[in-house]
Chain A
Amino acid sequence: EIVMTQSPATLSVSPGERATLSCRASQSVDSNLAWYQQKPGQAPRLLIYSASTRATGIPARFSGSGSGTEFTLTISSLQSEDFAVYYCQQHTVWPPGYTFGQGTKLEIK
Chain B
Amino acid sequence: QVTLKESGPALVKPTQTLTLTCTVSGLSLSGTRVSWIRQSPGKALEWLARIDWDDYKFYSASLKTRLTISKDTPKNQVVLTMTNMDPVDTGTYYCAQIGCSGGSCFFDDWGQGALVTVSS
Contact = CB atoms under 8 A, between A and B. Distances in A.
Among A32, A33, A98, A103, find the residue whose CB has the most chain B CB atoms closer than 10 A: A98
Contacts of A44: 45, 94, 107, 110
A32 B46 CA distance: 17
Given A91-B105, A97-B60, A103 B44 contact: yes
B108 A101 contact: no
A95 B71 CA distance: 20
Interface size range of chain A in the complex: 20 to 34
Contacts of A100: 44-47
A17 interface: no
Contacts of A87: 44-45
A44 B111 CA distance: 9
Contacts of A89: 45, 106-107
Interface stretch (B20-28, B79-87, B96-104): B96-104
A83 interface: no
B112 interface: yes
Among A44, A46, A55, A96, find the residue whose CB has the most chain B CB atoms closer than 10 A: A96
Contacts of A36: 45, 107
Given A43-B94, A102-B44, A49 B112 contact: no
A75 interface: no
A-B CB proximity, top 3 nearest:
A34-B106, A43-B110, A98-B47
Interface of A: 1, 30-34, 36, 43-46, 49-51, 53, 55, 87, 89, 91, 93, 95-103
29 contacts: A31-B104, A32-B104, A34-B107, A43-B113, A44-B45, A44-B94, A46-B107, A49-B99, A49-B101, A49-B104, A49-B106, A50-B101, A50-B102, A50-B104, A50-B106, A87-B44, A87-B45, A89-B106, A91-B104, A91-B105, A93-B103, A95-B58, A96-B58, A96-B105, A97-B47, A98-B105, A100-B45, A100-B46, A102-B44
Given A36-B45, A43-B111, 6 more contacts: A32-B103, A32-B104, A46-B106, A96-B50, A98-B35, A98-B47
